[in-house]
Structure 1
């Protein structure tokens, strides 16, 4: 049976799927562990070295671009929806699934500028995986 994919535009979900911005500190406080750190030369600030940080938390993986001012989520793969951020994500994305009256396997949510994307996978109507791809310059 072919995979059925629904593509929708939703600036709110694509731009902020977790309902609030996640930070490295929040995830570490919740029990995440740092899996990798890599220095990265900032393209916009001469002489500034930022850091790419990969975190693992209860089967979920997050990649952040860390500057002295801010943590910027670059990528997230969520398959465990038990943590608080997973519960928020699940509640917000279930609405996207219900918006479709047809049986679908995947939802690809993008914003109007086609910069931020959230890919959602359902198995037998239940949320099973989310891949968050925010735009980071």
Structure 2
């Protein structure tokens, strides 16, 4: 993965179970400035797997170079997507822009569509100014 050291922009689609490897992958991209992450919803991630992501060491790019993160997530992965949003907000030192696009094409069997603006808990930023929720989350209808 040494070829990834000079990578500054990355768009990647990952299955939910692959997310536990995300910190390791990001560690190999220390100069990454922009990340677009598309989540597939074919399987669920167990909470202990998400804890592995949260508890891992923070990749260098989150501390030194990552300025923009865009998530594209199906509604079925909403709970996981909010955990990922929090992970990036809590650990990114210079993050300027974070967007979450929720694809509502696949509504859960219950028919419940979460109210995104009310459900995402935004942690206090570490070393950057606060980002209004309306700038971080752009729900898509239709």
TM-score, length-scaled by structure 2: 0.25
Higher relative contact order (CA closer than 8 Å, sequence separation 6+): 1
Larger radius of gyration: 1
The structure whose residues are more often helix, as a share, is: 2
TM-score, length-scaled by structure 1: 0.26
The structure whose residues are more often strand, as a share, is: 1
